[in-house]
Amino acid sequence: MNDQVLITGFEPFGGDVVNPSWEVARTLDGRRIAGRRIVARRLPCAFRTALPLLFDALDGLKPRCVIALGLAGSRSAVSIERVAINIVDARIPDNLGAQPVDEPVQAEAPAAFFSSLPIKAISAGLREAGLPAEVSQSAGTFVCNQVFFGLMQHLQATPGIRGGFIHLPPLPEQAARHPGARPLSLVQQVQAIELAVAITLTRATDLRLAAGTID
């Protein structure tokens, strides 16, 4: 491992012309947070090609921690994901036209992997900074969840590297395409991920507080 932090974002998909996950990642590329250098990589929104590119980045960089970012167009808060599930069930085609249904991310793998980020501390820290944030119990069943699952499975072989997934709400320029969400500016989204990285690098353990759901 070295002093780098890998942050990934996705290319636009589903008719959008921008994806906040990549805009945030590339804005942070090259910055230093808590003494660690941020390295950004863009992933395709495609089931066949996203994980190989992620694994190449992991094996080449050997980062200290990894935070994968994605767009959740229906959400109004920065969503720190708790669990990745071993299922792909695509409501829309990916950017290569693939639309798998009820397929595992990885055959013979566990049903789920949990994030190793301090998810509750990140959520609390963002809210303290005046940013909308939540612990999310589902990363969906599209390419975001596939990348989250693949990341956490890959990290099983490299103990000591923390990793996880954070969903971002739309940007203001995406408001018309995502009317049910409250957009968050790029400046705010960058601030949120800067804080998430800093908290991850400086906290050895997570907070113990209620962040679950009833239904």
The whole-angstrom separation of Cα 211 and Cα 44 is: 31
Instruction: Let me know if 154 is a catalytic residue.
Output: no
Instruction: Let me know if 23 is a catalytic residue.
Output: no
Note the pLDDT tens digit of each residue in 144-173.
999 999 999 999 988 889 999 999 999 999
pLDDT band of 211, cuts 50, 70, 90? confident
CB 5 within 8 A of CB 201: yes
Instruction: Let me know if 128 is a catalytic residue.
Output: no
Average pLDDT over residues 191-205: 96
Q: What are the sequence ranges of the domains in the chain?
A: 4-202
Q: What percentage of the chain exceeds 90 in pLDDT? A: 92
pLDDT score for 215? 66
pLDDT band of 213, cuts 50, 70, 90? confident
Q: In the 3-class helix/strand/coil scheme, how is 80-105 assigned residue by residue?
A: EECEEECCECCCCCCCCCCCCCCECC
- Determine which one of 23, 81, 134, 194 is catalytic: 81
- Determine which one of 45, 134, 167, 194 is catalytic: 167
- Determine which one of 45, 144, 178, 194 is catalytic: 144
Comparing C-alpha atoms, which of 86, 143, 142, 76 is closest to residue 114? 86
Average pLDDT over residues 54-70: 96
Query: Residue 161 has which token pair?
Result: 């590297």
Q: Tell me phi and psi for residue 195, to 5 degrees.
A: -65, -40
Q: Which CATH number fits domain 4-202: 3.20.20.150, 3.40.630.20, 3.40.50.720, 3.40.50.970?
A: 3.40.630.20
The whole-angstrom separation of Cα 159 and Cα 3 is: 16
pLDDT score for 1? 54
Q: What percentage of the chain exceeds 70 in pLDDT? A: 99
Note the pLDDT tens digit of each residue in 92-133.
999 999 999 999 999 999 999 999 999 999 999 999 999 999
The whole-angstrom separation of Cα 4 and Cα 164 is: 15
